[in-house]
Each structure stands twice: as structure tokens, then as C-alpha cells.
A and B are shown apart, each in its own frame.
Chain A
Amino acid sequence: MLRLLHNSMKKSGTLAVVCCAAALLVTVKAGVAQEPAAPAAPPTPPAALTFVGSTTCQGCHEDIFNAFQKNRHEAVEKDKKRGFENNACESCHGPGSKHADSATATDIRNPARLKPAETDKVCLTCHLNQPTHVGRLNGAHAKNQVSCVACHSIHKNGPEGLVARKPADVNQQCAKCHADVWASFQKPYKHRVPEGAMTCVDCHNPHGTQLARSIQTTNANEPGCFKCHGDKRGPFTFEHAPVRLEGCGTCHQPHGSSNPRMLTRPEVRFVCMECHSNLPGTSVAAKGTIGTTPPGLHDLRSPRFQNCNVCHQKVHGSYVSRDFLK
């Protein structure tokens, strides 16, 4: 850890260390110096509070009620499975008897006003036990307090009621926060996301997956890239190690690049030789042992040899050539 902090100070992690220190100080201050105010927990209804039914809510909130009839959440109204039959509104807002009497906003729970984690808790009352959320703990959204309602509209009707469905709308929704990623898609070589032929959720599951960066999986546990690029999936009789060990991102920038084929370097030879530069017999210690001898036979000054995959064309894996020639 000390080594880590030392490196941090030397390099660009300075900001992070400052923030960590600040966070630590705040924590200590909160824990020792004074008792902080209690976080706004969702109002726990006293025992006297009771459900009044959605038709009671309709009396004052008719516009919301009507729109809700075409939202997928309307199913809660008839759902005996979770015990909210006829109480769809109160399944999220909690028992509304006091609010119905006083007509005061503070007398009822408003999930949009809660802390993100508390909002999620309300949603997960029903949605926790669904397959979509099995990777939630691995996902960055839950860890960064991005609540369900940041993407999902609970009351809206229409085709896009609960969440954006049209490709362009899905991409817009993601781009609102991930502006830096959207900027990458303006580069010339990219996946066809700005064109609407693909969406962000084709490759990423915003609820989280077992893979890093919430990459989608296909065929149970294979990276989602192979869902579209089935010809690169294999298994090959001659595998190229990085494809299995570190994935497509080793050589490609899937969000966009100024380099052809979304490569990480403008010339193929550098993509290859940055790894294939271990001399036999030299001690590479424990760092970067995989990646064998470079092609000393080739005169790399000649353009003929500068794009390695003109010959080593089956670089994703080959069925018949150990050197990926065919």
C-alpha cells in the first residue's frame, strides 16, 4: 500500500491520494469529532399507516394514474405474486393513509428524493430476485450510487415508458453521463453506434455482469463480442493467447479510434511487436513472459513487412497454422 501511495504521489494519482486523504479525514471527523446527522432513511411507516389503494391516489393524481395504466409497472396492480394487488402506487411510495388525509407531500415516501442506495432498495424490493440483477454487485453503477431511476421512468407511458428502447434513445441516455465515451464514437473507425445500428447495451449490461466493464456475455460465459463476431470465437486448434487472456481490448479500441480497424496503434507492427519482443534466454522476470521472439527474419524497414497481418492474417486464432498464416 505504501508503495502504491508512493507511486501515486509521483504520478498522476496525486489527485486520488488527496481525495483519499480528504475522505479519510471526513470519515474520522464524522466518526470521532461529532455524531453526524442521521442519513435520510426511507420513512418507516408507523404501524397505524395503511394502504389506501391506487384508486384513492387517482383522485388527486389522475394524470399520473392514467399514464401509469400503459406503463409496464401497471402489472403490479393485478399482481398477487408480491402482495401489492390494487396497491401499485403504494408498492413504491409506501402506505398512503396519512398522505391521503393530509395531502402533504412530506407524509409519503418519494423514492426520487431518497439517497440513490435507498431508492434502489425500494426498486429491489421486487426486482432483486430477477436474473437481470445477478451481476449487480459487480457493476459500476451500483457502486457509484447511480440509482435505478437515473435510467428508468416509473410512471411514463408510451413505447419508451419505462426505459429507452429505440437504439438512438438508448445511446443518448448512456451518452448523457458517459460524454467521454460518446466523444470516442465520433472518431472515424468505430462500432456503428452513432448510426443506430448498435446500442451501448449490446455490449454492456448496465446492471452489471461478471466481466469487467459490465461486458455482456453470450453462450453462458463467453465475452459478448462473440455474439456478433462468431467467426472469431473458436475454439481454434491454434489459439492466440491474448484473445483468451485479456480479450479483444488488448489490440482494439472498441469505442473508436483514429487507427484503422480500431487498433491501439496506427501501424500493425507496433501492435504486435510491443508484446512480441522477448528475446530467448533473457530474463524478463515475471512481468510479461508471454509473447515470444520477434520476427528477426523480416526486414521491418520494408512496407511489405510492416503490417504483420497481411501474412499472419488469422491473428484471432487459426485452424491450420501455428503462425496464423491461414
Chain B
Amino acid sequence: MRPLLALLLILPVLAAGQAVEPPKTEGQAATKAADQAPAKPADQAPAKPADAPAAADAKPEAKADSPAPSTEQWLTGEFEFGYRWLTDIRGNFPEYRSVVNLGEGPKLTSFDFTIHDPHKRLFDRLDLRAYGWGGDPYNTAHVMARKAAIYELNFDYRNIDYFNAIPSFANPRVPLGFNEQAFDTHRRNMSFTLDLRPGTHIIPYLAFERNSGYGHGIDTWVQDSNNEFAVPILLRDSTNNFRGGVRFEYNRFHVTLEQGGTTFKDDDQSYWNGVNLGDRTTPVLGQTSLLSGLAQSYGIRGTSVYTKVLATARLNDHFNFFGQFLFSEPKTDVHFSELAYGNFAALSSLLFYSGQQTTGTGAANQPHTSANLGFEGRFFNRLRFVNTWTSDAYHDAASPVIATQLIQGASSTATVNALNYTQRVNYFQNQFDLFFDVTSKLVLRGGYRRVWGDATVLAGQLSQTGSLVSGELSRNVALAGLSFRPSEKLSVNLDYEGASSDRIYFRTSLNDYHKVRARARYQLNTSLMLQANFQVLNNQNPAPDIRYDFESRDNSLSLYWTPAAAKRITVMGEYDRSTLTSSISYLGIFLAPSTSTYLDRSHIATSAIDFALPGLSGAKLTAGGSLVVSAGTRPTRYYQPLARLSLPLHKHVSWNTEWKWYGFGEQLYAFESFRTHVFMTGLKVTR
């Protein structure tokens, strides 16, 4: 991606050659101020009230959206670069990498430019954005080019490093250390979309997307049920997605027809050479179990075709129609081979053997059909109803063949396990909602949802019902809600959903549940806004063997204070209190009935306070950060305080310095704690 980054940097320069700088206008200074408003760093806490959508709702009489005066500048934007230092990371370094993973060095933290070609030759507008380059674990780039009624091109690239080596997640007794199920990989997404003739009645489009993963990790090779051996694994997979279609957009109706297809491959490989005693610490029938060598290779290939038909129509002023038909049929071909040697035992046949060869072949085919229809009607000016119907069906066919050969000296024992089965999952939903405008300030909503379906799926190896197991789903859901806006300063939303289920699939599925969500927002005056959220979900399954009792509550309060039009100070603060309690009967040690209880009581606070430094025009000090303190089954503390200083050096240049501290600790897993200071300093150039 470095060439791409270079391209991003060069493009504005190239465009400068084309564009003619227009004469400066009087309004340009104000324009620049508006255009150069500093972008918030990615990890900054959310939202100042000044540009909150709430404000748009609460103050409709304010000047329409405060538009900035137009500008004739062909290039606007900013970029920021700098250097990051970390103090010594105290505590568990793999845990730090699993949670934070920021590194030292020079960084291009943001690059964001928009080019308007005054001659509108190749494009009317070109947006170039890139964030997090220079060895950071998250890199993104985005390019958008548009020429009215001709084309619109979007390119998006993301690379997210996934490092995960969490001691408490692995087997702490593994001789090689806390490393089982640890990964150091990258996931990359890339997409191109090209719309032709946007804004016209008929819009063809093409797209290509690629998702890939690459990296290494520690997997386990499991031998019978006796022992498992940590082995390194190389992970490689990729999915390419090609699609194209055409949109017909007319005043009365719209239809989208899309055809696409994917290719998939997964080529994971494991190798081991040496003595590996595995996790088992005791001999098996008097012999030591060990793995001397392993060569394991996956060669999974997949393809799919899919079809998408979307339609909307305004039949008349009172009646709208929506519909979707979606079909996909992914297929997979399996080629797997494995050769392991060492000293192994098969307990079921009391056989000791020195080698094991496994080959796997097979295929899976999964036609998946979905449909969604809906219509919306308005009657009597006060009454509106919506009905939606959804169906979703997976019908899998799979035919795996696994051949295993156990080798003991010159002799061998072969077994072949073959299955040929079909899974079926059918899901249906119908929902009816009625909206009634009681007054211009109060809208009530009531509705009913019926959910039903059935599933026949592959059962576990120990199932007593054969290779397949069936279940059904049947649920009745009552819906209610209100939207109350008594004044432009206050708005209240309330949602209720309560259900009773006759049939569910899993012991922890939603059964008899109630869900309530309330949200209120109050604009106390022009500078102070308060918002409160409340939600609760209670789910019960009183069946004797299950006795599931689940309740989660979440209450949050937000405050936005911008006195004197945010000239001196702005304050944003949020506090969230969430509790989750869950208990369920399960079969524990040697099938003894037990109760699994889970508690999580969290306090979470975030804040950002901006001070304009007196005597230094444009200088700003920001303080804030977040903290998470939770108690319960896994008590955790996670602090991320920060301070940031921004000093203008020139009309277009400012110097930014940031300090952030990461402190993570767990009461029950003290060995996983870490803490470190992170400093970043750099320049921000705006135009």
C-alpha cells in the first residue's frame, strides 16, 4: 500500500498543475476558517453539541444548517504527521498488543484533501483520505472521484492488525507458555465501486471487493481425546467478490438488478518438527504421548453466485411498496491432508501407533434464499401503518469424507468416515405497526410481530438423535412506542417489545422477554444540552432443565456544555452504568447439574474538555479520556486519560502534542495487567 500512499500524496500536486488558482475573494478568510476546522482524532470522545443532530432537531428555527460561504479554492484539506513514543510497557506485553497495539516511530496520522477541478475535466471533485500510516496497526485509505452525471468512483482500503495472545484465554498449564490460540494476523479489505451516470434514470454499476487475512499463530493439533499439541500455523485466506448491476430510478418506482459472484480460498498450514509433549501431563496407558512431526495443509476452494433484486414503488400519495429478493449459493470444495508422527495411543481400541495420516475431501453447497416485502399506508392524515414480511431459508447439502490411517511399523489401520446430509433452516417473520399522530407533538406506535421457523441441523458427535437434530421457532411479540416532542427543547422516545415464545432453538435464545428503551433529550438553553438513555432487557426460560434468568440494564447520561458559543470552553461528558446478570442451569463436572452465574456491573465515563488558551489565538488544550471500572465475574479496570495541546505556528500550520495513558488491570488475572504512557507530537498543515 505504500505506492498508494505515495499516489495520494502526489495527486494534489498533479492536480495543481491542471487547476488554475482563482483570484482570491473577500470571503475566503471566513471560508478557510470553516474548511480548516480541525478534524477530531479518531479516538476522541464523541460529539460536541454544537454540531449534534439533536441541535438540528431541537432548534429548527436556527439558521438553516449554518452553511459556510462558498469557496473558489480548488484544494482544501489538511494533513498531520508526527512521531510517537512509548514509555516502557509495564506488565504483560502480549496483553498490551492484544488491546492497544500502538507502536513507536514516525506516523502520518491523517491525510484528508478535497480537490475541485474548476474546469471539471476528469472529475468535478476528488476526495483523498488516509489515516494511520507509518506502521500503525490500523491503516485506511479512501479515494472518491465524481463527475456529475458521468461517473462516481469509490476506492476503500483498510488494514486491521489482529494480534491476540491473552494468557487467560489459553491453557495456563501448557509447557511452552501462555500461547495456545494466539494470533498475529492482518485482515485487509479493499473495495472499488464504479457508478456510471449517477443521478440519471438508469445507473449501471460495477464493484470489486477483496477481503483477505494473512499471518501466523499457535494452533493445536488434537490427537484422539488424549492429548493436544500446540503447533505454529500459517493463516492465509482470501475472498474476491465481483458484482455488477443496474439501477432503474424513476419518480414512481425503482428497481435494482444485481448479479455477483465470489471466489474463496483458505490455505492454512501447520508444521512441527521436534519433541512436543502436548498439554497432557500424565502418561497414557504407561506411555508418554508426544508429537515428533506434523505437516497439515488445508486447500479450501469456494465459489458463489448471487442475485439481488430490490424494488420500491410509490403507488400513490398514500401507499408505498418495498420488496427484496436475494439469492446466494456459495459452494466449497475441501482438500485437506495431514501427516503426524510421534507416539500416540487410541484409547478406544487400546492401540499404540507412531503415525497418523488423514485426508479430507468433500463439498458443501448452501443455497440461501431471502425475501422481504413491505408496504406503508397513510390514512386520515393521522394514521399510518406498516407491514413487513420476511423469509429466509438456508438449505445446505454437505458430503464430507474423512479417511484416517493409523500407522504402526509396517502395518496400518484405515478408517473412513463419510457423511451425506442436508441441513434446513427456515425463518419467517411478519410485523405490523400502526402509527397514530395523537397531536402534532405526540406519536404513538403499536404493533405485533410473529416469528416462526424450523431447523434441521447437524448434531454433535455424542447426540442420541442421530446425525441430525431438529428444532422449531415460534414467537409472538407485542410492540409499542411513543415519540413525544412537547417543545423544541425536549424530545422523548420510548420503545417497548415483549414476547412470549412457544418454541425456541437454544437454551439461551430469547424466550419470554421484555425490552424497554427510553431516550430523552433536553436543550436547557443555547449552551447546555442533556441526554439520558435507559434500556433494559429481561429474558426468562423457566423450563426445569434450563431455568434461564437474564437481565441487562444500561443507563447513560450525557452532558454537552458550550458556553459563549464555545469560544472559551466546551465540555462533553458521558456516564454509563450497565449491569448484566445471568444464571442458567447446566451440566457441569461429570454431568452434575450446576448453575452458571455471570455478573457484570460496569461504570463507564468519557469526557472531553476543550479550553481556548488566553492570549494565543487558536491555541487549544483538551483534557479528557475514558475509564471503565467493572465488578462481577471478571472485574476489570481500563483507564485511558489524555491531554492534547494544539498551538498555531502559522496561518496554515499548528503544532499538536498529545499524551495518553493506558492502564489495564484485572483483579482475577493480575498477570494480564499493563500500563504505558504514549506521547505523540507533530504538525498539522491545513489549506
Interface size bracket, A side: 35 or more
Q: Does the CB pair A12–B538 fall under 8 Å?
A: yes
Q: 9 A-B pairs, CB-CB below 8 angstroms?
A: A4-B498, A38-B440, A130-B312, A134-B310, A145-B493, A153-B65, A177-B54, A198-B160, A258-B628
Residue of B nearest to A81 (CB): B201
Write the A212-236 contact mask toward B (1 if CB under 8 angstroms, else 0): 0000011111100001111101111
Once bound together, how far apart are the Cα atoms of A279 and B586, in whole Å? 10
- B residues in contact with A165, CB < 8 Å: 127
Are A16 and B514 CB-contacts (below 8 A) given A113-B60, A155-B64, A159-B127?
Answer: yes
- A residues in contact with B459, CB < 8 Å: 292
Q: Does the CB pair A113–B260 fall under 8 Å?
A: no
A154 at the interface (CB under 8 A from B): yes
Once bound together, how far apart are the Cα atoms of A26 and B512, in whole Å? 28
B509 at the interface (CB under 8 A from A): yes
The residue from A4, A220, A273, A307 contacting B169, defined by CB atoms under 8 A apart: A307
Residue of A nearest to B598 (CB): A265
Report the count of interface residues on B (CB-CB < 8 A): 239
Are A66 and B53 CB-contacts (below 8 A) given A192-B138, A237-B362?
Answer: no
Q: Does the CB pair A273–B596 fall under 8 Å?
A: yes
Q: Does the CB pair A221–B469 fall under 8 Å?
A: no
Q: Does the CB pair A151–B53 fall under 8 Å?
A: yes
- Segment of A46-54, A96-104, A297-305 in the binding face: A297-305
Q: Does the CB pair A180–B535 fall under 8 Å?
A: yes
- Segment of B11-19, B82-90, B398-406, B650-658 in the binding face: B398-406
> How many contacts A-B (CB < 8 Å)?
587
- Segment of B470-478, B609-617, B675-683 in the binding face: B470-478
The residue from B199, B310, B535 contacting A131, defined by CB atoms under 8 A apart: B310
A259 at the interface (CB under 8 A from B): yes
B80 at the interface (CB under 8 A from A): no
B321 CB, nearest partner CB in chain A, Å: 10
The residue from B64, B264, B363, B504 contacting A233, defined by CB atoms under 8 A apart: B264
Once bound together, how far apart are the Cα atoms of A323 and B472, in whole Å? 23
Q: Does the CB pair B388–A138 fall under 8 Å?
A: yes
The residue from B250, B374, B633 contacting A266, defined by CB atoms under 8 A apart: B633
Q: Does the CB pair B241–A172 fall under 8 Å?
A: no
- B residues in contact with A306, CB < 8 Å: 171
The residue from B56, B360, B370 contacting A112, defined by CB atoms under 8 A apart: B56
Q: Does the CB pair A172–B40 fall under 8 Å?
A: yes
B26 at the interface (CB under 8 A from A): no
Q: Does the CB pair A66–B69 fall under 8 Å?
A: yes
Within B96-117, which residues are at the interface with A (CB < 8 Å)?
Answer: 98-99, 112, 114, 116
Once bound together, how far apart are the Cα atoms of A196 and B323, in whole Å? 34
Q: Does the CB pair B256–A131 fall under 8 Å?
A: yes
A43 at the interface (CB under 8 A from B): no
Residue of B nearest to A306 (CB): B171
Once bound together, how far apart are the Cα atoms of A283 and B173, in whole Å? 38
B318 CB, nearest partner CB in chain A, Å: 11
Write the B53-65 contact mask toward A (1 if CB under 8 angstroms, else 0): 1101100110011
- A residues in contact with B307, CB < 8 Å: 220
Q: Does the CB pair B53–A286 fall under 8 Å?
A: no
Listed from nearest, the 6 A-B pairs whose CB atoms lie closest are: A196-B42, A67-B67, A175-B46, A66-B70, A197-B138, A183-B576
Once bound together, how far apart are the Cα atoms of A13 and B496, in whole Å? 8
A173 at the interface (CB under 8 A from B): yes
